[in-house]
């Protein structure tokens, strides 16, 4: 049985990865979070500005050891103060 992770502390983030790909001729940006031996899909974007804003929020969570929500869709995911 696989464990479902709903949140992650910034200190547990070892690396951030951006996957660039095309979906129906549209460039997409997916943020992946590497923690321990897992790679967790975080958010997926077609808009570069929205991607960059979310990426900077994840960097902030990593550097300040904040808690990131991993539930819901792009709009539902947010930083929580630990």
Residue 37 has a pLDDT of: 83
pLDDT in tens, 6-19: 888 999 999 999 99
Q: What is the DSSP letter of 57?
A: H
Closest to 54 in 3D by CA, of 27, 81, 73: 73
Closest to 82 in 3D by CA, of 67, 71, 70, 68: 67
C-alpha 74 chain-centroid distance? 9
Q: How far apart are CA 3 and CA 11, in angstroms?
A: 19
Q: Return the number of other C-beta atoms located less than 10 Å from residue 45's C-beta.
A: 19
**What average pLDDT score do residues 64-79 get?**
69
Mean pLDDT of the chain, nearest integer: 84
Percent of the chain with pLDDT over 70: 79
């Amino acid at each position: 049985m696989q464990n479902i992770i709903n949140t992650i502390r910034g200190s547990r983030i070892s690396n951030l990865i951006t996957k660039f790909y095309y979906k129906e001729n549209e460039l997409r940006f997916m943020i992946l979070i590497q923690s321990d031996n897992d790679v967790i899909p975080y958010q997926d974007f077609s808009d570069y500005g929205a991607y960059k804003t979310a990426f900077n929020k994840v960097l902030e969570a990593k550097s300040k050891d904040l808690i990131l929500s991993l539930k819901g869709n792009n709009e539902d995911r947010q930083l929580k103060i630990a």
